[in-house]
Amino acid sequence: MEAKKQKVMSGIRVTGDLHIGHYWGALKNWLSLQDQYECFFGVMDWHGQTTIYKRASEISALSREMFAEMVAWGVDPKKSTMFIQSKVPEHLELFMIFANLTPLGWLERVPTWKDAEEEAKQSDTHNLGRFAYPVLQAADIAIYQGALVPVGQDQIAHLELTREIIRRFNHLYKAKLPEPRPLLTEVPALPGLDGRKMSKSYGNSILLTEKDEKSLRKKVNMMVTDPQRVRREDPGEPEVCSVYAYHKLYSSADDLDWVVKGCRSAGIGCGDCKGRLAENMEKLCQGPRTIKAQLLSNTDELDKSIEENCERARQIAKKTLETIRYNMKWL
């Protein structure tokens, strides 16, 4: 008999800001995990609401769009169980069980909370939901009994807290939920157009599927370059240039060579360099953009596929919850 595949769980929170960093940091990895593991990939709308609750009316359209986008980029709803978090209410039941056994001190110590607190106060999101973000994340993972969680270095603290919560749960109720381990993924540093961290609030991001080639080109043309290269005749240094950081992800070895030599000798201009980059980015993005448009042009069919997937997720989540209540002798 084939050995049972380990369970992988991951998700992206819905904020309406799905940019190319999400591809390189999450989606691309998921694709390579789909065959090897039993995968659960979520559209995390409740996590989105912790910061965009005032835009609640947009959430369901954004979630549907994110689902379509995931499929367009190759997440396969036949191989993996995909779901929209709020359509599987079991996440929230488990969240509440976990919330009670999570001391506030554990949450206060989470670095992402400490870093975000000032910003949270200013943006009217210094709220209980956002504070409890890692508890909901623990529930997301445990409800499918996820054993492996692909994350970047920045999420390690959250996952450590997940492990602590699950350990405490197992200890209190003599249960056997797996303590998930991180599948540490290399997240390449992708600067935003202005060189700062890519974020919608800075207005410096490139969307996962820009609406057309023209808007992609426009964005690439806005990118900051080596500041030493002021005039066309000035030689530049690719290693300090964001455009080159992108080339490393999107371009062939020949193109990289062309950039390095051309930049250092002032043989090419930044315009040429950006033009080539935009071309290579467009090659990768074209297919998914078309599929996404097709999926969104027939929302009835898309919604049906979402419903089916969420139902599949729900069956599994329900079973876990039954076991959990049994462990708690809360029947």
Interface residues with ligand SF4 (CB under 6 A)?
A: 225-226, 229, 236, 238, 241, 243-244, 259, 263, 268, 270, 273-274
End-to-end alpha carbon distance in the chain = 35
Tokens standing for 153? 């270095």
217 binds, among ligand SF4, ligand TRP, none (CB under 5 to 8 A by kind): none
Residue (69 or 226) nearer to ligand SF4, CB: 226
Q: Which residue, chain included where needed, has tokens 């049972």?
A: 4
Using CB under 6 A as the binding criterion, the count of chain residues that bind ligand TRP stands at 11
Locate the DSSP E strands across the chain: 7-13, 38-44, 81-84, 148-151, 181-184
191 binds, among ligand SF4, ligand TRP, none (CB under 5 to 8 A by kind): none
Helix (H, G, I), strand (E, B) or coil at 230: coil
Contact call for residues 40 and 146 (beta carbons, < 8 A): yes
Q: Which helix (H) or strand (E) holds 145?
A: none
Tokens standing for 130? 């956002």
Question: What CA–CA distance (Å, rounded) separates 139 from 58?
Answer: 24
Amino acid identity of residue 181, one-letter, is R
Applying CB under 6 A, which of residues 137, 185, 205, 309 lies at the interface with ligand TRP? 137
Applying CB under 6 A, which of residues 7, 19, 47, 276 lies at the interface with ligand TRP? 47
Report if residue 52 touches ligand TRP, rule: CB under 6 A.
Answer: no
Report if residue 149 touches ligand TRP, rule: CB under 6 A.
Answer: yes
Window contacting ligand TRP (CB under 6 A); options: 56-64, 135-143, 182-190, 202-210: 135-143
Report if residue 140 touches ligand TRP, rule: CB under 6 A.
Answer: yes
Residues in Cβ contact with 70 at an 8 Å cutoff, skipping those fewer than 6 apart: 12, 27, 41, 43, 82
Report if residue 259 touches ligand TRP, rule: CB under 6 A.
Answer: no
47 binds, among ligand TRP, ligand SF4, none (CB under 5 to 8 A by kind): ligand TRP
Window contacting ligand TRP (CB under 6 A); options: 4-12, 121-129, 226-234, 239-247: 4-12
> Other CB atoms closer than 10 Å to residue 213's CB: what's the count?
15
Question: What CA–CA distance (Å, rounded) separates 175 from 212?
Answer: 51
Window contacting ligand TRP (CB under 6 A); options: 96-104, 137-145, 169-177, 320-328: 137-145
What dihedral angle (degrees, nearest 10) is formed by the CA atoms of 26, 31, 37, 43? Answer: 50
Window contacting ligand TRP (CB under 6 A); options: 7-15, 103-111, 203-211, 288-296: 7-15
**Phi, psi at residue 321, to the nearest 5°?**
-65, -35
137 binds, among ligand SF4, ligand TRP, none (CB under 5 to 8 A by kind): ligand TRP
Task: Give least dist CB 198 to ligand SF4, A.
Answer: 18
Residue (149 or 295) nearer to ligand TRP, CB: 149
Residue (94 or 268) nearer to ligand TRP, CB: 94
Question: What CA–CA distance (Å, rounded) separates 183 from 265?
Answer: 42
Q: What is the DSSP letter of 3?
A: P
Report if residue 12 touches ligand TRP, rule: CB under 6 A.
Answer: yes
Task: Give least dist CB 267 to ligand SF4, A.
Answer: 9
Per CB under 6 A, residues contacting ligand TRP are: 9-13, 44, 47, 137, 140-141, 149
